[in-house]
Amino acid sequence: DARVTQTPRHKVTEMGQEVTMRCQPILGHNTVFWYRQTMMQGLELLAYFRNRAPLDDSGMPKDRFSAEMPDATLATLKIQPSEPRDSAVYFCASGLGTSGGNSGANVLTFGAGSRLTVL
């Protein structure tokens, strides 16, 4: 049963600390998305990659957030320094996106999420 693996599942940290969240996408999936979910905003797209190349990170506060894919099996989302307003659940999702925009291939599988609390 293929799944997207996220670590850590829970993280409590103090304001100003660095936080790194990791994601292992499903083998063979070539798109990886990072979303942030809060009660007020719902699922916000932070950044996404296709074939490890960043396509759009306009939803991400660039001064403190960074997203990378060092290889096809690992995506990372880093916050430095963290702030209380960053408290949320961060989801990674992967899919078989194609450049032709074939919707059927763009079904995303989500990881279980990383719940971040910044005090």
Partner 1 sequence: GQNIDQPTEMTATEGAIVQINCTYQTSGFNGLFWYQQHAGEAPTFLSYNVLDGLEEKGRFSSFLSRSKGYSYLLLKELQMKDSASYLCAVNGTASKLTFGTGTRLQVTL
Please, what is the minimum distance in Å from the beta carbon of residue 88 to partner 1? 14
Task: Please identify which residue in 113, 114, 116, 118 interacts with partner 1, judged by CB under 8 A.
Answer: 113
* CA–CA gap between residue 46 and residue 83 (Å, rounded): 16
* CA–CA gap between residue 112 and residue 44 (Å, rounded): 16
Complex with partner 1: residue 111 or 118, whichever CB lies closer: 111
CA angle 80, 6, 67 (to 5 degrees): 35
Task: Please identify which residue in 12, 15, 107, 119 interacts with partner 1, judged by CB under 8 A.
Answer: 107
* CA–CA gap between residue 8 and residue 28 (Å, rounded): 23
Per CB under 8 A, which region of 8-16, 28-36, 61-69, 73-81 contacts partner 1?
28-36
Complex with partner 1: residue 13 or 37, whichever CB lies closer: 37
What is the torsional sign of CA 70, 74, 75, 76? negative
Contacts with partner 1 by CB under 8 A lie at 31, 33, 35, 41-43, 45, 48, 50, 55-56, 91, 93, 95, 97-99, 101-104, 106-113
